[in-house]
Amino acid sequence: MESISVFDMFKVGVGPSSSHTMGPWRAAERFLRELPATGVQSVQAHLYGSLAKTGIGHGTDLAVLMGLQGEDPETCVVEGLLDRFESLKSANTLRLGTGETVPFDYTRDVVFHFDECLLGHPNGVRFLAMLDSGERVLRSYYSVGGGFVVEEGEGAADRQLVQLPYPIDEAAQLSAYCERDGIDLAEVVFRNELTWRSSTEIRQGLARIWTVMRDCIWRGCRTEGILPGGLGVVRRAAKMATSTLGEVPNEPDEFFKVVDAHKPDFRNTVSWVSCFALAVNEENAAFGRVVTAPTNGAAGVIPAVLMYALSFLDQPHSLPEDLGEVTSAEGLSMMEKFLLVSGEIGSLFKKGATISAAMGGCQAEIGVSSAMAAAALCYVMGGDTARSLMAAEIAMEHHLGMTCDPIGGLVQAPCIERNTMGAMKAITAAQIALASNPEDAKVSLDDVIRTMWQTALDMNHRYKETSEGGLAVNVSVAVAEC
């Protein structure tokens, strides 16, 4: 199978959806590279399947236009993004990232094929450019979950494959490597990551990921109001934070110092974990900057559980001052090990099942993120390899069959609250695994991954991010286009 880095599982980008926003955005960037610098007459984007059915609510149209303009989801200015998009929709031209300006009509050149699906995946986008020479440039891409994009006809031979010291397709292999070489989970992942980059680059990358996550929590805990999209969802994280702290500090570092100093009882711990998760996914729903972990719809679970570990388990919260070379995972901070372990667990689900809600329902998003967080939390709390993998299995076992039914096609209800549930299940799963003997377990992580995939294949398509089933049809609301 394809070798997957932790930095493939964690991507910095823009909400609200990794498969419906991030993926199409990256596909548009790839298509842009296929175009000549001059001589483009017109460009169209055709959205198929789930990308069409929930594309308005997920901002898929926004994403493809931003990508065609050459903006990057990791670095673009997110403030005023929706306003810029509205201006684009009413403009008569589109300035491509190549520097050339072409005629553009939103109603004609962004086409939603609601009743048609491309063969390769439910999330299909096709770009068509007409050149002055009379030639056509036509490319089709599939957004396969977590911001991953595959071009139609692309096979394994077209992807960058590397030979890892520890090639891993199943959890049993990961466990076997640890036992054979007398190392733990973080060390296996760290040695694999060294294939792609130096230890300093690994540490800088992990620090970047955590900085975006924690800043996202801080912004969400300071921002009130109504989320865009017409559903009228009220943001709650800020109210929850201020009800405990009185006032959220103006700087992220000061905010987290205050949170660290606050030692809550069980009830308030649950409230804080929920607050952290809500904060991230409210930012995500508002087209803010988030980390895909492993998807945008589930972006709040891992930051919430990691914040729980850092703030309430007497772990150092601040980023490591020295991000220099280390020779083993032993020299890494708890935060770095948490992200390495959780990223590897996510890659197991991507290889053995799916992280796309359009393929597997919400079990592929919240379920996978909860399993990732559970394994990492168990590990940093002293769990060995067997218990950490057991924690991941327990978390996913109790998300099996979860449907994806966003009301109005928006990543808001029930998606935002589901992140709080995924975070709490991860914490519970880690605690159960730590108190258990893995030899007594009846279900392995590989068993649950296979079961998740079988469940995904059996699930009716209405419950796979189409907004044609579940709460999406049983809750009567009038939703204005975002």
Q: Tell whether the model's pLDDT for residue 261 goes beyond 90.
A: no
Percent of the chain surpassing pLDDT 70: 96
In-domain check, residue 479: no
What's 122's domain CATH number? 3.30.1330.90
Residue 454 scores a pLDDT above 80: yes
Task: State the Rg of the chain over Cα.
Answer: 22
3-state helix, strand, coil in the chain (%, to 5): 50, 10, 35
The helix (run of H) or strand (run of E) holding residue 295 is: none
* pLDDT average, residue stretch 214-236: 96
Is residue 185 in a domain? yes
- Give pLDDT, residue 446: 98
Residues 106, 202 within the same domain: no
Q: Is the peptide bond before 294 cis (omega within 30 degrees of 0)?
A: yes
Whether 9 is covered by a domain: the verdict is no
Q: Is pLDDT above 70 for 120?
A: yes
Half-sphere exposure of 393 (CA within 13 A, CB side): 24
214 plus 119 within the same structural domain:
no
Mean pLDDT on 46-52: 95
- Tokens at 228, concatenated: 């865009």
Residue 157 confidence (pLDDT) above 70: no
In a domain, 74, yes or no: yes
Structural domain that includes position 298: 171-474
Q: Do 336 and 412 belong together in one domain?
A: yes
Q: Are residues 90 and 19 in the same domain?
A: yes
Q: What long-range pairs does 162-167 form, CB within 8 A, spacing at least 24?
A: 162/3, 162/195, 162/196, 163/195, 164/3, 164/192, 164/195, 165/191, 165/192, 165/195, 166/191, 166/192, 167/3
Looking at the structure, do residues 355 and 467 belong to the same domain, yes or no? yes
Question: Is residue 153 exposed (0-12), middle (13-18) or buried (19+ Cβ within 10 Å)?
Answer: exposed
Let me know whether 184 and 153 are in one domain: no
Q: Please, which contacts does 90-97 make with residues 24 or more away whose CB atoms are closer than 8 Å?
A: 94/43, 94/65, 94/68, 94/69, 95/69, 96/32, 96/35, 96/40, 96/43, 96/68, 96/69, 96/70, 97/29, 97/32, 97/67, 97/68, 97/69, 97/70, 97/71
Residues 336 and 440 both lie in one domain: yes
Q: Which two tokens stand for residue 325?
A: 């070379």
The average confidence (pLDDT) of the chain is 94
- Report the pLDDT value the prediction gives residue 263, as an integer from 0 to 100: 74
Segment 90-116, tens digit of pLDDT: 999 999 999 999 999 999 999 999 999
Across 7-21, 198-212, 255-269, 412-426, least confident range:
255-269
Query: What was the pLDDT predicted at 324?
Result: 84
- Quick one: 330 and 210 in the same domain? yes
Cα–Cα distance, 231 to 236 (Å, whole number): 15
Query: Average pLDDT, stretch 256-269?
Result: 85
Range 318-322 average pLDDT: 69
pLDDT tier for residue 274 given thresholds of 50, 70 and 90: very high
Provide the pLDDT for residue 481: 35
Residue 95 inside a domain? The answer is yes
Section 270-297 average pLDDT: 97
pLDDT, average across residues 285-297: 97
* Average pLDDT for 358-383: 97
Q: Is residue 327 part of a domain?
A: yes
In this prediction, residue 314 carries a pLDDT of 67
To the nearest whole percent, how much of the chain has pLDDT over 90? Answer: 88
Let me know the angle formed at the C-alpha of 104 by 119 and 83, rounded to the nearest 5 degrees: 95
- In this predicted structure, the answer to whether residue 482 has a pLDDT above a threshold of 50 is no
With 0.85 as the threshold, say if the pTM is over it. yes
Calculate mean pLDDT across residues 5-21.
96
> Do 178 and 99 share a structural domain?
no
Neighbours of 67 (CB within 10 A): 26
Q: Would 362 be classed as within a structural domain?
A: yes
- Establish if 7 belongs to a structural domain: no
Q: Are residues 126 and 181 in the same domain?
A: no
Quick one: 230 and 263 in the same domain? yes
Counted domains in the chain: 2
Tell me, yes or no, whether 257 and 364 share the same domain: yes
Which residues, 6 or more positions from 457, have their beta carbon under 8 angstroms from its beta carbon? none
What lies within 8 Å, CB to CB, of 198 at 6+ separation is 325
